[in-house]
Amino acid sequence: MYLGRIVAVGMTSEGKNAVAYRVSSRSFPNREAVCNGQTVSIVPRAGCEEDLKKNPYIAYNCIRPAGRYQVASNGSHTDPITEKIILGMPPRDAIALGLLAMDYEKDAYDTPRIVAVGDSKTPTGWLGVVRRDSVCVNEFQLVPGTFFFLSTYEKNSPDVNQKDSNCQAVTAEELCRHLLNGGIFTEFTNPVTAAAAIVTINESDTAVAMATQA
């Protein structure tokens, strides 16, 4: 099944909250996730920069820290949502306002904008989406080894039953690999690259990984 881009929020097997992002793409697979400190960006691979002329939506920050929170998304809405949270806005409100302001992508597929936010102080996460027909933000209570996820296509409504409940990842790198080819995510086609961040106050664990066939 092809889901397009995927965001996830959950808890590692050791009980640390985390967010993750996966690029799955049929049209623009020549991309990679690049770390710049704790921020992760999706960019064209070297030699494929001309792809930006075909679609301006394919490069963006996909993960950014926001104080005690981490934000993961499939587009440029990562930045305004992160900045509103840093300024003190509650995550639910920042997600809703950011998604409403940016709206769905005006490409050939009316691609939804999706976002995940994790909290370092409580076992809480949020998933949000703006589609052509709706906008929705849901809060989730997190438990070890379970990740709730949301995608641009097919599974693009935040749902407590839309989850992977057998994630044994401990590190951000392991979480990237799981999102690319582990658990329920093995059922989803065209993986390209992934990024993940463990949401803690006193330490930083951010990683990226490429799909083996990308």
> What pTM does this model have?
0.95
Question: Mean pLDDT, to the nearest integer, of 153-166?
Answer: 95
Question: What span, in angstroms and rounded, lies between the C-alpha atoms of 94 and 92?
Answer: 6
Question: Mean pLDDT, to the nearest integer, of 96-102?
Answer: 97
How confident is the model at residue 52, as a pLDDT? 86
Question: Mean pLDDT, to the nearest integer, of 130-154?
Answer: 97
Confidence grade of residue 197 (pLDDT, cut at 50, 70, 90) = very high
How confident is the model at residue 12, as a pLDDT? 95
How confident is the model at residue 214, as a pLDDT? 45
User: How do residues 29-45 score in pLDDT, each as one tens digit?
Assistant: 889 999 999 999 999 99
Parent domain of 186: 6-210
Residue 115 covered by a domain: yes
Q: Within the chain, what is the greatest distance between any pair of CA atoms?
A: 43
How confident is the model at residue 47, as a pLDDT? 86
Q: What is the CATH number of the domain that holds 152?
A: 3.60.20.20
Question: Mean pLDDT, to the nearest integer, of 147-153?
Answer: 97
Q: Cα dihedral angle (190, 128, 115, 95), rounded to 10 degrees? A: 160
Residue from 208, 172, 174 nearest 23 by CA: 208
How confident is the model at residue 199, as a pLDDT? 83
Residue 1 covered by a domain: no
Domain count, the chain: 1
